[in-house]
A and B are shown apart, each in its own frame.
Chain A
């Protein structure tokens, strides 16, 4: 079975632009979470979606938004890009909604560079 797939693998944008990142969860998984990993740091939680509803949100500005589709895939949108948004963006999926007892399966990430 395919793991979590993310696209694109790499992306270069300029300040002020908007970006959309995509994630396909493992088949049968209904929960998708998004993380930002700045170089040399651990991943930081951005959002969790379960059954197309937002279930959790981290400390990120409103420029960050996400949604989940009926097939459980997800998109992360970032508006008005800043240099500080340069990072690896990770998507993780799990079967159920509870992060504490559902192992998270991570994709390889999208590396976003802002010039």
Chain B
């Protein structure tokens, strides 16, 4: 079945550091890929998405590129801020049969000033 594997956390970085959170997937067909974020005390919200190979999703300085050849969708940001501290979830939806949103286990990110 479909699955998403995320880099294990927690991840702690200093402000202005470069961030990478790895995400790889297994899916039937050609999935759409997502990053969701959960800030402290808030609900899950969509951060960015990509719907086909080589697409780059971007939002709030975060980027992720849909790499079909490596089945990956790594999240990156060039300079993190304390306000980026949150739990990040990689997710996919396959466009094949019983459509469902499949999440990874989440990566807790803490940015220290």
Contacts and interface: CB of A to CB of B under 8 A. Distances in A.
Interface of A: 3-4, 33, 35, 40-45, 48, 55-58, 90, 92, 98-101, 103-109
Interface residues of B, number: 24
Contacts of A44: 103
Nearest to A45: B100
Contacts, number: 63
Interface string B79-92: 00000000001010
Contact of B98 (A35, A41, A57): A57
Contacts of B103: 35, 42-44
Nearest to A4: B43
B44 A90 contact: yes
B104 A99 contact: no
Which residue, of A44, A100, A108, has the highest number of chain B Cβ atoms within 10 A?
A: A100
